[in-house]
Chain A
Amino acid sequence: MPKTATKPVRIVVAKVGLDGHDRGVKVVARALRDAGYEVIYTGLRQTPEMVVDAALQEDAQVIGLSIHSGAHMTLFPAVVDELKRRKATDIVVFGGGIIPDDDIAVLRKKGVAAIFTPGTPLQEIVDWLRKRFPES
């Protein structure tokens, strides 16, 4: 097959946790699409196992997680752990949602590459990805 010019970075975007607040995750998904990324949205109420499985099947370089239920301290690290278990630690995990500053520090330490809270300009998320994947 002929080579295409550049290979877009693929991002699996998922809502973990039981809440259904998908406004933020959808706005972010569209912004990432407009920035040229291939976004695979897996929908609401995904377990860490489902998210990681989707990322592997979809050959994604990035996982974006969104949560508003308050269970981020359990579920975000669970995704990172599942990636370790499946030997896929090259996949970068970032997250968003209503997450207090104190928790952000802990999550960063546990392997979540970045956390974006409500009010973050969309461009900031895109800029972060561009820095992380300069070839994209």
Chain B
Amino acid sequence: MKVRARDAKELWQEEFEKAPVRDDGIETSTISGIPLKPLYTGDDLPRREEELPGQFPYTRGIHPSGYRGRLWTMRQFSGFATAEETNRRYKYLLANGQTGLSVAFDMPTLMGQDSDAPTSRGEVGHCGVAIDSLADMETLFEGIPLGDITTSMTINSPAAILLCMYIAVAEKQGVPASKLGGTLQNDILKEFIAQKEFIFPPAPSMRLVVDSIEYCAAEVPKWNTISISGYHIREAGSTAVQELAFTLADGMAYVDACLERGMHIDDFASRLSFFFDAHIDFFEEIAKFRAARRIWARWMRERYGAQQERSWKLRFHTQTAGVSLTAQQPELNIARTAIEAMAAVLGGTQSLHTNAMDEVLALPTDKAARIALRTQQLLAYETGAANTIDPLGGSYFVEALTDEMERQAEAYFKRIDEIGGVIPAIEAGFFQKEIADAAFRYQNEVEQKRRIMVQAKATNALNRLGKAAAGNDNLMPYILDAVRAYATEGEIMQAMIEVFGTYTETAVV
């Protein structure tokens, strides 16, 4: 039997090599540069005990019941101008059954500046609410019972201040801190690595993060103290492997810092959560999410000696990739986002934000925002993607890719360790350089058309066709050019219709 199987594979190999190959840019690697084989077989399957959902190392998901037990949370993040307007919006959302609120702050607030600071000019109230003092926070949550809802606050350098303001508003409502639930992004390391909204140097910044984790563990136990974010690292141009490795390395750096403070791993590990990007390279993304869970579980149990299962489980929120969207033909962004969202779901995300098609240009229109949310509902209720737990588990390709992501991430951990840890690596510019190199490589690839983005590049060919149709040239070369540029049949017909018009048969009765 075994011999025959080998013969069959050799036969396939021969036939594959003889077969004609497309010449329009076949990719032989993922967008992160992981080499791809044309075919994966049982030979690529790792030898290991069968993995199962809800069981260590959680490659196949942290819940034994997957999405059969509970769907992912559809969490759309958005910003509004003033505290009053946002408050009105919150009340509307709460009246319509939503229980979780999300606060987007404006740039001066994110950078720890008051609205009247000279460097705040032109920035106040853009893309989020401006909070200067407790008075603004009181306005923001006026009439909203903080004991009954959860609030997610996307803020980092001044996170401790905003959390204190939230606690103070609750105090005035008579709600004890122990009853407050919510999430603080509070991930300063990725600010140094990617988003660059840092203020203090790394050491005191880390001290504030640990202060908040320690304080919340004792006083605000239901609060998710940190959302360790790969999203910004990826959006800054990193590869999937870098996103995975740098984010988990950040996570471990926070764990190390808390342990150094004298906390016990099981007292805070389960309140750490993660935030990843879902990019357009479908299988690579799924492998990334699966690898993330496995790596984290191993490190938590084996390196940090966490005893409780909940400390081993990596929970994460996902947002589809803003950088994969294009300003031309924004409708195509709906398709991109849907595919990215599917990757997040097949990767087992706990919550998901789908980008609106026009998000690349400005604040989404109502229609675009609705389509984005509907995309998630469609995934949940129409595609069947939520019916089977980790449906790609056991796929030759996805399992091999998951292992490869893990291997490459571990190699990065080693390099970071050699530099002396995350903070020395930040100070030496290691992450920043790795990411900038990857971004530059990717951009150049895009421009050399190696990474074909289906875009408006057919437009020029169509315009030329239209002009030729108005004249007397033979149209064949123009049509051929349009075809080569991947213009669709309908687009080519439409270009000619605009010149020729359409014919309506004379009615003959």
Check if A26 sits within 8 Å of B436, measured CB to CB: yes
Q: A70-B127, A73-B122, A98-B360 are in contact. Are A20 and B197 (CB under 8 A)?
A: yes
Check if A122 sits within 8 Å of B447, measured CB to CB: yes
Check if A27 sits within 8 Å of B443, measured CB to CB: yes
Separation of A3 and B443 alpha carbons in the complex (Å): 36
Check if A118 sits within 8 Å of B327, measured CB to CB: yes
Residues on A with C-beta less than 8 A from B447 are: 121-123
A103 → chain B, closest Cβ, in Å?
10
Which residue of A47, A98, A119 is within 8 Å of B328 (Cβ)? A119
Residues on A with C-beta less than 8 A from B121 are: 71, 74-75, 78
Separation of A63 and B453 alpha carbons in the complex (Å): 31
Residues on A with C-beta less than 8 A from B127 are: 69-70
Q: Is B119 an interface residue (CB 8 A)?
A: yes
Separation of A22 and B432 alpha carbons in the complex (Å): 10
Q: Is B301 an interface residue (CB 8 A)?
A: no
Check if A118 sits within 8 Å of B119, measured CB to CB: no
Q: Which of A44, A69, A72, A78 has the most CB of B within 10 A?
A: A69
Q: Which of A31, A72, A78, A119 has the most CB of B within 10 A?
A: A119
Q: Is B108 an interface residue (CB 8 A)?
A: yes
Residues on B with C-beta less than 8 A from A20 are: 191, 195-198
B93 → chain A, closest Cβ, in Å?
24
Separation of A19 and B127 alpha carbons in the complex (Å): 11
Q: Count the A-B residue pairs with Cβ separation under 8 angstroms: how many?
A: 85
Q: A69-B127, A73-B122 are in contact. Are A122 and B111 (CB under 8 A)?
A: no
Separation of A72 and B113 alpha carbons in the complex (Å): 19
Check if A18 sits within 8 Å of B119, measured CB to CB: yes
Which residue of A21, A26, A44, A100 is within 8 Å of B362 (Cβ)? A100
Q: Which of A15-51 contact B (CB under 8 A)?
A: 17-23, 26-27, 30-31, 44-45, 47
10 further A-B contacts with Cβ under 8 Å, apart from A17-B107, A23-B323, are A17-B122, A20-B196, A20-B197, A21-B196, A23-B235, A26-B440, A47-B118, A47-B119, A70-B127, A71-B123
Interface CB pairs A-B, < 8 A, 25: A17-B122, A18-B107, A18-B108, A18-B110, A18-B120, A20-B196, A20-B197, A23-B235, A23-B236, A23-B323, A23-B435, A23-B439, A26-B439, A27-B436, A44-B196, A69-B127, A74-B121, A75-B121, A75-B122, A78-B121, A100-B361, A100-B362, A121-B447, A122-B443, A123-B447
Residues of A within 8 A of B (CB): 17-23, 26-27, 30-31, 44-45, 47, 69-75, 78, 98, 100, 117-119, 121-123
**In the complex, the 6 A-B pairs of residues with the closest C-beta atoms, listed nearest first:** A20-B196, A74-B122, A71-B122, A18-B107, A70-B126, A71-B123
